[in-house]
Amino acid sequence: MQQANYDIVIVGGGLVGTAMAIAVAGIAQRYQLKIAIIDGAKIKSSESKPANSLDGRATALALGSRNLLERVGVWSALEAYAQPIFDIDVSDQGQPFGVQMQAQEMGQEALGYVLQNEHMGNVFRQQLSQHCEGLVTFINAAQVLSLDNAVKDSQLVYEHTLEGETQQVEVTCQLIIMADGGRSSLRADLGMHSHNKNYEQVAVVVNVALDKAHQGLACERFTADGPMAVLPLLPEQGQYYAAIVWTQPADQAATLAAMDDEEMRVALQNQIGFRMGEFRALGARQIYPLALSVAEEQARQGLAVIGNAAHTLHPIAGQGFNLALRGVFALAEQVYKACQEQAPLGDLTYLNAFLATSSRDQKMTVHATDQIMQLFSSRQKTLTWGRQLGLLAMQNIPLAKTVFTRTAMGLDQPLADVLPLPVRQV
C-alpha cells in the first residue's frame, strides 16, 4: 500500500469542498501546508465547457456570501458569471398583500446574485489550479475505504485506478474535512447520526427561457401546493433565462415526471403568472425529495463535517449553500488560529470553537427555514391570515422590512476575520 502525507484532506470536490480549499489556501501558503481534495467522481477540468443556460443548476448567493468570496480574492473571477438580483417580489397566490424588496432601497448594489453551479465550480477549480500550485492536490475518481481520526494524526485509506491498475493509498494528515454531500456514507460509517425530518414534498428544478428582459427580478410565490422561486439568470446572446424551484407534494412526483415540456411550461406559468414574462422553453428537469437533515455531531478530534454532510435544508429560502459557505469560513478561521498558535490543526479546542460559531448560525437558519416552509405551505385559514398580516407589516413597517431583507441578504452574520490570501491573486 502506498503512503502519502498532507496537512489537510478534504473529502468531496464539489462547490463546498473546493470553497474550503480556497478559504484555507492563503493559510497553506503562509504556513507551508499541503492540502488534498479527494472526490469519488472525476473532478472536471477548469477548462471544461459549462452547461448552457437552460440546463445548468443554479445557486442564489446572498450578499454576505459574495462579501466572503471577495475577502479571499475570488469574487472578481466569479462576477462575470453572476446575475445580480435587484428586486425581490414575494406574493401569496390568490391573496392581496405581498412584499417588494429593492436593492436601491437598502443602499446596496444588489440583494444577492445567481450563478450556475457549473460556472461557479469551474472558477473555484481554476483559482486553485492557477494560484495554489503546489499547495492543493486533486485526487480524482477515488473511493475512501476507511477513516480514522486521532489526537495527533488522522488517517484514511482511499482506492483509485491509475493506468488500468487499482491502487490503495494510506494518507496521514492533521485534519480531515468531510464535504461529501447529504448522503455521506462516511459520516454514517463513523456513527455520526443526524436528525431528519421528511417534508413529504418534492422539488421540481428547471430553467426556462423568457420572452423579455427580467431586469434582475426574483419572485417567490406561495401557492396552494407549495412555494415556487423564480431566479434571474445571466443573459446569454440576448436571450433571458430564469431558474425555477417548485415545491410540490411528494404524491405528485410521478405526475410531474410524466408531464411533457409543454404541460410543465403551462403548469409553471399558471403558478407564477406573467410577472417575469412568458416562459418560452424549458431545460432539463430534475425532481428530488425534500427533507431536513442536521448532523448531531459535526466535529471530532482531527475531523470536521461541513456543507450538506452537516446540514441539508429545504430550498424555500435558498439558504443551504450560503449557510455552508459561512461554515467553511468559520472553520478556516480556526485553522488559521491553530497555525498562529503552532497547535495541531485537528486540535479539538479549535474545532469546538468552529462548532460554537457554526452551531448558532445553523440553529437560527434551520429554524427560520423550517418555520417559513410550514407557514407558507399551509392553506389553513388562520395561517393564511397570519401570512398576509406578516407580509402587510413587512411592506409597510420600514424596520420590519429592513430586518427581514438584511437577514435574506446574509448581512446579519458577521464576516469572517481577514484570512491570508495566496500571493498570486486574480
pLDDT at residue 130 in the model: 87
199-290 classified as CATH 3.30.9.10: yes
pLDDT tens-digit profile of 245-276? 999 999 999 999 999 999 999 999 998 889 89
Can you tell me the mean pLDDT for 355-367? 88
In the chain, residues under CATH classification 3.50.50.60 are: 2-197+291-408
Q: Where are the alpha helices (DSSP H) in 306-379?
A: 320-340, 348-376
Alpha carbons 142 and 161: distance in angstroms, whole number: 8
Grid cell at residue 99? 412584499
AA identity, residue 26:
G
CATH 3.30.9.10 residue ranges in the chain? 199-290
Which residue shows C-alpha cell 429560502? 317
Residues 6+ apart with CB under 8 A from 142: 38, 39, 40, 158, 159, 160
Q: Answer whether residue 412 shows pLDDT above 80.
A: no
Q: Which of helix, strand or coil describes residue 176? A: strand
Cα torsion through 176, 179, 183, 187, rounded to 10: 20
**Taking Cα atoms as reference points, which of 53, 87, 55, 63 lies closest to residue 276?**
87
| 43 pLDDT above the threshold of 70 | no
- Residue 279's CB is within 10 A of a number of other CB atoms, namely 21
Q: What gap in Å lies between CA 345 and CA 184, rounded to an integer?
A: 23
3-state SS, residue 355: helix
pTM, entire model:
0.88
Query: What's 2-197+291-408's CATH class?
Result: alpha beta
Query: Nine-digit cell at 55?
Result: 440546463
Chain segment 286-302, per-residue pLDDT in tens: 999 999 999 999 999 99
Q: Residue 240: exposed, middle, or buried by beta-carbon count in 10 A (0-12, 13-18, 19+)? A: buried
> Which amino acid would we find at residue 87?
D
Element holding 382 (H helix, E strand) = helix 381-396
Count the neighbouring beta carbons within 10 Å of the beta carbon of residue 131: 22
Query: 3-state class of 293 per DSSP?
Result: strand
Which band of pLDDT confidence, cut at 50, 70 and 90, is reported for residue 399?
A: very low
pLDDT over threshold 60, residue 143: yes
Burial class, 297, CB count within 10 angstroms (exposed 0-12 / middle 13-18 / buried 19+): middle
Residue type, 279: F
| Cα–Cα distances in angstroms (integers) from residue 171 to residues 4, 39, 304, 338, in the given order | 5, 14, 17, 21
